[in-house]
Amino acid sequence: MGIRRWARWMGQHEGGFGLGSARAIASVLDSAGGNGISLVGPGAVSAVRALLVHVLSESGSGLDRVVVPQLDLDLLLGRPFSRSTSAAMVVAPTFASALAYVDSVPGDVLLVCSPDSTLDDSVRRLQRAGGATQAVVLGGAVGRVIDVRADGRIERQDGRRLFISPQEVLSGLRGACNPGSSRVSRPRPVALRVLGRPRLELWANGVRRDVTDLLTSKQQELLVFLAVAPDGGGTRRESLNSAVWPGSPPTRPYNSLHNALSLLRRSILDASGGTIRDLVVRSGPFYRINRDIVDVDYWHFRGPESGRLPLFRGDLGEGIDSLWIDLPREAVRRQALDSATALLERDSHTSVAIDTLERLRSFDPYNEGIYREIARAQLKIGRVDAARRTYSLLVRMLLEIDQEPDSPAWARWDLTG
């Protein structure tokens, strides 16, 4: 079912979740054409939520998938993103990776995103033979611009409402993103990101605030250490202290740890207006992340393989050079590599796999196996010249350490020409 046929189908089905006229949503999409639509005005966020509720909740929509960059889904959900259990939704770590994903899959795809300087040209490029891409932009001026009032009505179109209750639409979207749950779980007000450079965010009333700058480098390292520690009763104080403060004096070895935790508690209390207190909780000699209020990307990354790659934004605890991080960092790289390789074996999402492999190569520039996987992915989509450049880059990198590629492993591809 094409995007226009889907829009007409949806126009015949009225829904709940505080939605307004399904025919209004169908009409907006049906008139968007190949250049996409931009929703602006005080009701734009709720209008996009209403659209997604329709797409994710109605079983006969005919769309193959919805693609949303993570930051945009965070905004729409009003809380830090937790891995969606909806098979129809793909959450990409960045706008660029969302475009790469859309470009790599067949079928009818709905791209939902915020404005980007390259978006206009990208939307035109993504109008593909054999499948359609529809872009819905929150703000900006891409394609047809639709002005949505705070009450859900479209300017200059009497009686048409895209939503009725903003709060119900928000609840509906949260439920649609997790259709396997009987209820929407209570959102956690703190998001800790440890894949890539550490980042700490506080959430309140649907607003995200980055408070990473409030943390010292040691406080960041402490949080990363606890985030990757085995789940259970927590980490012993001795292990935590010796990893993060290996040079502590034997007379009072825990001074730095206790001071870091005290200052962290005070900073978060001040930043949250007194509503958030302990990111780290203690039980006797054991410390752990407070799972009641903190969501950590690494925990989701360790989950099912299907949701792993979109979470891989960079090396674990980027910028931390302590000895303790080497093993978990290598484990994360290996998991990302295995997941990218599995995608290639299934002949799916090749561009997403290449993007991940390129990031892994930047962390491990002398790993010949990564170069081979990149070249294999490039050959799979017909980019022979790119595969040759990958081989040439490997040759140059190995020359720096007086090594050369394993010729038999590359021979079947004949990339030396």
CATH number of 403's domain = 1.25.40
| Residue 331 vs residue 113, higher pLDDT | 331
| 225 and 289 share one domain | yes
Please tell me the predicted confidence (pLDDT) of residue 5.
40
Q: State how many domains the chain has.
A: 3
Asked if 272 and 202 count as a contact pair (C-beta separation under 8 A), the reply is yes
Considering 149, 177, 205, which residue would you say is the last residue of a domain? 177
Of the residues 300, 330, 350, which one is the last residue of a structural domain?
300
> pLDDT by residue (tens digit) across 293-308?
898 888 878 765 545 6
Does pLDDT of 200 surpass 90?
yes
353-390 pLDDT per residue, tens: 787 788 888 888 888 888 988 888 888 878 888 888 88
Q: Which amino acid is at 348?
A: S
Domain boundary among 112, 147, 177: 177
Query: According to the model, what pLDDT value does residue 147 have?
Result: 84
Q: Please tell me the distance from the alpha carbon of residue 26 to that of residue 11, in angstroms, as a whole number.
A: 5
Question: Angle CA(93)–CA(96)–CA(102) in degrees, nearest 5?
Answer: 90
More confident residue, 417 or 275: 275
Residues spanned by the domain of 240: 190-300
Contact 42, 163 (CB under 8 A): no
Q: Around Cβ 39, how many Cβ atoms within 10 Å?
A: 25
Q: What is the CATH number of the domain that holds 202?
A: 1.10.10.10
Do residues 44 and 69 share a domain? Answer: yes
My answer on whether 127 and 12 are in the same domain is yes
- Domain assignment present for residue 312? The answer is no
- pLDDT of 305-340, one tens digit each? 545 666 788 889 999 999 999 999 989 988 888 877
Query: Around Cβ 46, how many Cβ atoms within 10 Å?
Result: 28
Check whether residue 250 and residue 362 sit in a common domain: no
Element (H, E) at 7: helix 3-10
**Which residues partner with 207 through β-bridges?**
204
Q: What's the pLDDT tens digit per position in 6-53?
A: 334 343 444 445 565 566 766 666 655 556 778 888 888 888 888 888
Determine the Cα–Cα distance for residues 135 and 37; give it in Å rounded to an integer. Answer: 6
**Three-state DSSP class for 134?**
strand
